[in-house]
Structure 1
């Protein structure tokens, strides 16, 4: 069969995967968004269904003062002796911790902290021992992939932290994962930074603690030399063996907006690339060490059909799964129903690293039409295309002393400008429409049976190359103003 990448679209970076009783489970980073760490399941590696989040309570993760692209970094999911573990980092507080559950569809535990620094933590279980790894500096001041043995019940260190591998020479060595395959131990990592030079590298050894010998042809997977190719930034992988004994890499990557336009705004997404072990015990990945936007493979049965949801509405999404908040929401500000949302505004705007009245859904593809009916009493309410507090485009209804207006506002770094407005007079409601292509967003209000264009804006100013950070565009509904009460209905995101 032929499958297309990415297999999970939109801002779902740093994938990690495990397999239990014929079902695959996958987690991703969430940074400053709440609930934290989206959790997916699949039976065939291709079609994924979100089943929850790992961090659902304020007591599990401190996000109140987290800057954009701070908070929850690179989780790992593992299973041992009937229990699931998710280990991650709060990069803002510089703490590594893990939580656990005996029911993948239920709640997860309170955090258990590990006294080892770095980011991108990993757990490996063998013979009653638990090995903890992260990138960083060991107890002797040596940098690299750092490992110690811990007590899984308490998180306490049982051995000193020791640097076990320094990588293949690329910058920003990170994302360690340890596996035992065919009697050897394989240490997977990422190098080059989660940018255009990103890559997957690995080494192998005869014990969980090394010494590790680097793969002679590192990197095993990278798209760093494919200029003009849509899929870039390939790296940060996790290895899995399927039901038939085949091996795969789940990894992140991103799609740039045009062949010669090196910008990406959808965020880092989830990609799947086949892996093959050779007779010498080394493995190769992808098409001559690169990942593709589609793979033809006989490893997956032809009866598997890749499904893709094209229309997202209030009615066919789940507020608790598909939608997210900025940091910790105040529950009283949201009344979320089957076919509408009522949001109560505050004096917290989208322009500060706090928790405004905001609920959003990830933009999943380049071509999309977003529409929603919005009404309000006072203040401002509408749709935002949100990258961070300094980079977002807003299409909203706003009340001032002269009545109501639809406004188009662009926020790019220090430049914040209302580009256009349409006077509504005493009408306090409007249909807002945004049409997206790879290079541009176009903003409309719909009235008298026609769309009125307010303006357009480049997508690249919401890209990671301009804004910085590690997230992607979120399509947000928001309200602002102490006495503002807004109602949103007939919401639709329709992808081409």
Structure 2
């Protein structure tokens, strides 16, 4: 078949995958958003369905007041003796922990914490023992990939933390995963930073503890030298064997907005690359070590059809799976129904690293048309293209002295500018956003008029990671602020049509 990368689009970074029977399961980072760690399943590695989240309770993850792009980093999912484990880092509190479940469709446990530093933790099981690894420095101060044995029931350390590999020479060694394949141990990692120099590297050894010999042609997978190519930042991978004995790397990457426009705002996404083991036991990946947009492979049956999401509405999304809050929400501020949502805004705004009244959906394609009807009798309510508290574009209706204003606001760093104000009589407005690779076009449509009013534009580059920093992607958010007590803004007729 011929498939297109990315296989999961939008802000779903740091993928990790495991297989149970004929089904694959995948988790991704969620940073400051809640619920935490989106969970997917697939039968063919191409089409992924989100089935829930691993962190669904405040007791599992401390997100109150965390900085943007803090919170939940780089999870790993593993399956052992009938139980699923998800291990991750709260980068804000500098804690590594894991949760578990015996029912992948059910709730996950309370966290067990591991007293080892670093980020990007992973688990490896062998002979009744559990090994925990992360990046950082060991107890002797040696930097690299650090490993210890733990008691899986509690997270208690059973051995000294010791560095087992120091990488191939790239900066920011991270994302370790250990596998035993055909009698050898393979240690996969990321180097170069989750930017344009990102890469997948690996080493091989005869013992869990090493020594590990680096692959002579590292990096095994990177797009760092593909100047002008849409797909960049390939790295942070996880190896997986399919149901037919073929191997693959599932990794993160991102799409830049144009051939020579080195900005990306959709976030880090999920990519699939074929892996081939050679006779000497080393493996190669991709097309001459790169991940391509279009992959023609005989490893997947031609009967598999890659599904595309073309339209999203309230009715065909799941509020608990597809939508996210900023940090831990105050539940009484949300009234959610199948075809509408009502939001009570507080004095917490989108400009704060806090929990404003907000529900967000990941933007998955560059080109889209987004429409929503918004009505409020007090305060402010609207729709936002949201990267973080300092970088977001807002379309809002607000009440000021019993007069309703329609505004377009651009927030770029410490510059916060209302670009357009339209006065209207009623409390209801239809907003429309037309998204392109390099630009958002903003409109409103008043109830008594057929033609849209042009509110302005916003360049996507100012919501990109290259400008805003951080590790997230643009969310299409619905929000409210400063409502009177007992007042709720009403959101209906939401559609997001991808071109």
- The 2-side partners of 1:397 and 1:432 are apart by 9
Q: Note if 1:317 corresponds to 2:317.
A: yes
Alignment partner, residue 212 of structure 1: 212
Q: Note if 1:485 corresponds to 2:488.
A: yes
Alignment partner, residue 296 of structure 1: 296
Alignment partner, residue 340 of structure 2: 340
Matches within 5 A, 1:44-123: 44-123=44-123
Q: Is the 8 A contact 2:380 2:483 kept in 1?
A: no
DSSP 3-state at the match of 2:85: strand
- The 2-side partners of 1:310 and 1:421 are apart by 32
Alignment partner, residue 438 of structure 1: 437
- The 2-side partners of 1:94 and 1:480 are apart by 32
Q: Is the 8 A contact 2:407 2:421 kept in 1?
A: yes
- The 1-side partners of 2:218 and 2:27 are apart by 26
Alignment partner, residue 461 of structure 1: 462
Q: CA deviation at 1:110?
A: 0.2
Alignment partner, residue 329 of structure 1: 329
- The 2-side partners of 1:416 and 1:356 are apart by 18
Q: For residues 143-178 of structure 1, give each alpha carbon's deviation from its aligned partner in whole angstroms, at most 9, with x where no partner exists.
A: 000000111011111110000000000000000000
Q: CA deviation at 1:325?
A: 0.1
- The 2-side partners of 1:339 and 1:103 are apart by 30
For structure 1, the residue ranges without an aligned partner over 5 or more in a row are none
Q: Is the 8 A contact 2:190 2:201 kept in 1?
A: yes
Alignment partner, residue 398 of structure 1: 398
DSSP 3-state at the match of 2:452: strand
Q: For residues 345-388 of structure 1, give each alpha carbon's deviation from its aligned partner in whole angstroms, at most 9, with x where no partner exists.
A: 10000001000000010000000000000000101000011000
Q: CA deviation at 1:89?
A: 0.2
Q: CA deviation at 1:482?
A: 3.9
Alignment partner, residue 251 of structure 2: 251
Q: CA deviation at 1:458?
A: 0.4
- The 1-side partners of 2:377 and 2:138 are apart by 57
Q: CA deviation at 1:401?
A: 1.6
Alignment partner, residue 267 of structure 2: 267
DSSP 3-state at the match of 1:141: coil
DSSP 3-state at the match of 2:197: coil
Alignment partner, residue 141 of structure 2: 141
Alignment partner, residue 407 of structure 2: 407
Q: Note if 1:2 corresponds to 2:5.
A: no
Q: Is the 8 A contact 2:27 2:40 kept in 1?
A: yes
- The 1-side partners of 2:44 and 2:235 are apart by 22
- The 2-side partners of 1:443 and 1:396 are apart by 11
- The 2-side partners of 1:171 and 1:231 are apart by 21
DSSP 3-state at the match of 1:232: strand
Question: How does the TM-score come out when normalised to structure 1?
Answer: 0.99
DSSP 3-state at the match of 1:119: coil
- The 1-side partners of 2:321 and 2:190 are apart by 29
Q: How many residues align?
A: 495
Alignment partner, residue 307 of structure 1: 307
For structure 2, the residue ranges without an aligned partner over 5 or more in a row are none
- The 1-side partners of 2:414 and 2:220 are apart by 41
Alignment partner, residue 125 of structure 1: 125
Q: CA deviation at 1:75?
A: 0.1
CA RMSD of aligned residues (A): 0.6
Question: How does the TM-score come out when normalised to structure 2?
Answer: 0.99
DSSP 3-state at the match of 2:61: coil
- The 1-side partners of 2:60 and 2:136 are apart by 24
Alignment partner, residue 471 of structure 1: 472
Q: Note if 1:428 corresponds to 2:431.
A: no
Q: For residues 190-229 of structure 1, give each alpha carbon's deviation from its aligned partner in whole angstroms, at most 9, with x where no partner exists.
A: 0000000000000000011111000000000000001100
Q: For residues 244-266 of structure 1, give each alpha carbon's deviation from its aligned partner in whole angstroms, at most 9, with x where no partner exists.
A: 00000000000000000000000
Q: Is the 8 A contact 2:17 2:27 kept in 1?
A: yes
- The 2-side partners of 1:450 and 1:38 are apart by 40
Q: CA deviation at 1:463?
A: 0.2
- The 1-side partners of 2:458 and 2:305 are apart by 37
- The 1-side partners of 2:65 and 2:439 are apart by 32
- The 1-side partners of 2:422 and 2:312 are apart by 27
Q: CA deviation at 1:268?
A: 0.1
DSSP 3-state at the match of 1:348: coil
Q: CA deviation at 1:405?
A: 1.4
Q: For residues 91-122 of structure 1, give each alpha carbon's deviation from its aligned partner in whole angstroms, at most 9, with x where no partner exists.
A: 00000000000000000000000000000000
Alignment partner, residue 384 of structure 2: 384
DSSP 3-state at the match of 1:465: helix
Q: Is the 8 A contact 2:224 2:233 kept in 1?
A: yes
Alignment partner, residue 161 of structure 1: 161
Q: Is the 8 A contact 2:351 2:389 kept in 1?
A: yes
- The 2-side partners of 1:476 and 1:72 are apart by 20
DSSP 3-state at the match of 2:291: coil
Alignment partner, residue 221 of structure 2: 221
Q: CA deviation at 1:494?
A: 0.3
Q: CA deviation at 1:402?
A: 5.3
- The 2-side partners of 1:480 and 1:152 are apart by 44
- The 1-side partners of 2:93 and 2:308 are apart by 37
DSSP 3-state at the match of 2:239: strand
Alignment partner, residue 173 of structure 1: 173
